[in-house]
Structure 1
């Protein structure tokens, strides 16, 4: 979101408009699909196409609207809890990796690879929007339920609660907390995005994507959610996750510990969503069985009355 907003100059409610537009598109496509299924009498025809289309559209709209408002909420973090944890995370990274990971990565990774990492990191937002739309339209109900539960929980618990408790800026904005900034020279997207974020912080603006927060890395969190949610696509999701995880440190956006916490947090949320989904499935099955039981009793009574009438 940050990178996208930095390059298109998005006003505060642009993504809300996008959310409504995409949710409407979901509804229209669902309606067309179910209408075709009804006309051609295919097995996928459903008695409630409009309801299902509107429900899926509402899921997409809610997720995107929440994402649009997230940057505004994140911009208030230093007001609620001023940045304090950067020294702590720098020390933790130094102990874990025997040095500052963002400096070590540039000793290991050739400089000509940095623009590629920067570009993939920029693709994170288009990937997020596409994933929300595709899951909302085409994913099986179980996958859809777990994805959106995990998505909203991750942004709320990790992106707001933990981010506020451990308020930090990351190496790229080290100068804002009395340290030294770290930003590779050959990372144009990172330069544009950091300038946009810095402008918002200095002007105390609350625009889309202008909040600064390092712990935990929501880029890493969402990339890891893709790995967990789409096991059949791991040939694609794992390399994407690796690029995002490395890029979050290599470009100076995050401390390595930010990504570690993100992975652990999303894994816990995903595991919890499975238990909740299983409970919901059992409840649905119980309701269905109860319905069958009522129909069975009704059929028995009809049969008994017929026997008596004879």
Structure 2
């Protein structure tokens, strides 16, 4: 709240018309799951060995370090779950704002589905309530970095989409803004680290080839 001089979701709902909210819902839902699987396949068949290794290392590290380790350490509930988890009506206005738009109503339905699985301790598709960090934001920004490495124009598309995911994560109340910022910093560090691994692997392959393919 201090970073944005108040609750940032309020600022976003004040300036976003309903039709943009519908686009955000499409980006945050079906398109996000499509790019999750699609980019792994794209990278797997990429002829550029160094970039392929860098992306796949980054993808795995993002899931392990951000999606598992940091997620467990920073376990929390986003604004859309806050009142149900901790009581009170701190985010009652957010719930009312979402209920007034079609894409928001769908979001509330999804949150009910996730909360029911949480309270019943049942394993269902997409189960899990955790805000810190945002894996939606992390994967979108990782893919933007990947697209930027392929082509400048593709990079513009990737960064535009990543920005919409960061925006939507706060707009729909799945995350606090800080959750997305932590994800971005984490992905940037992982991407840089993966670059060193990819270069190291590339150097090992060149050395192996230069030696006539003989291991000593």
TM-based fold match above 0.5? yes
- Which residue number in structure 1 is paired with residue 129 of structure 2? 212
The residue aligned with 1:31 is none
Higher relative CO (Cα under 8 Å, sequence separation at least 6) belongs to 2
The answer to whether the 8 Å contact 1:115/1:188 transfers is no
Match of residue 37 from structure 1: none
User: Residue deviations 1:74-107, cap 9 Å, x none?
Assistant: xxxxxxxxxxxxxxxxxxxx11000011112111
2:58 to 129, 150, 157: 150
Does the CA contact (< 8 Å) of 2:78 and 2:131 recur in 1? yes
| Residue 195 in structure 1 maps to residue 102 in structure 2 | no
Secondary structure in 1 matching 2:2? helix
CA-to-aligned-CA distance 1:103-147 (integer Å, 9 cap, x gap): 121112224422221121112111212222222234522222111
Q: Deviations over 1:143-169 (max 9, x none)?
A: 221111111111111111111111111
1:127 aligns to 2:35 (yes or no) = yes
Decide whether aligned partners of structure 1 residues 179 and 161 sit closer, same or farther in structure 2, where only a CA change above 3 A counts.
farther
Task: Indicate if the aligned counterparts of 2:78 and 2:176 stay in contact, CA closer than 8 A.
Answer: yes
Which blocks of at least 5 consecutive residues in structure 1 are unaligned?
1-93, 295-310
Which of 175, 178, 194 is residue 87 of structure 2 equivalent to?
178
Structure 2 unaligned segments of length 5 or more: list them: none
Which residue in the other structure is 2:204 paired with?
283
- How much has 1:177 moved relative to structure 2? 2.1
2: CA distance, partners of 1:138 / 1:283: 20
Q: Does 1:228 align with 2:155?
A: no
Could you tell me how far apart the structure 2 residues matched to 1:289 and 1:137 are?
A: 25
Residue deviations 1:15-65 (CA, integer Å, cap 9, x gap): xxxxxxxxxxxxxxxxxxxxxxxxxxxxxxxxxxxxxxxxxxxxxxxxxxx
Distance 1:275 1:291, change over 3 A: same
Aligned match of 1:100: 7
CA distance in 2, matches of 1:276, 1:153: 12
C-alpha RMSD over aligned residues: 1.6
User: What is the distance in 1 between the residues matched to 2:106 and 2:161?
Assistant: 17
Which of the pair has more CA radius of gyration?
1
Alignment length, in residue pairs? 200
Q: Measure the CA separation in 2 of the matches of 1:192 and 1:268.
A: 35
What TM-score do you get using the length of structure 1 for normalisation? 0.61
TM-score normalized by the length of structure 2: 0.86
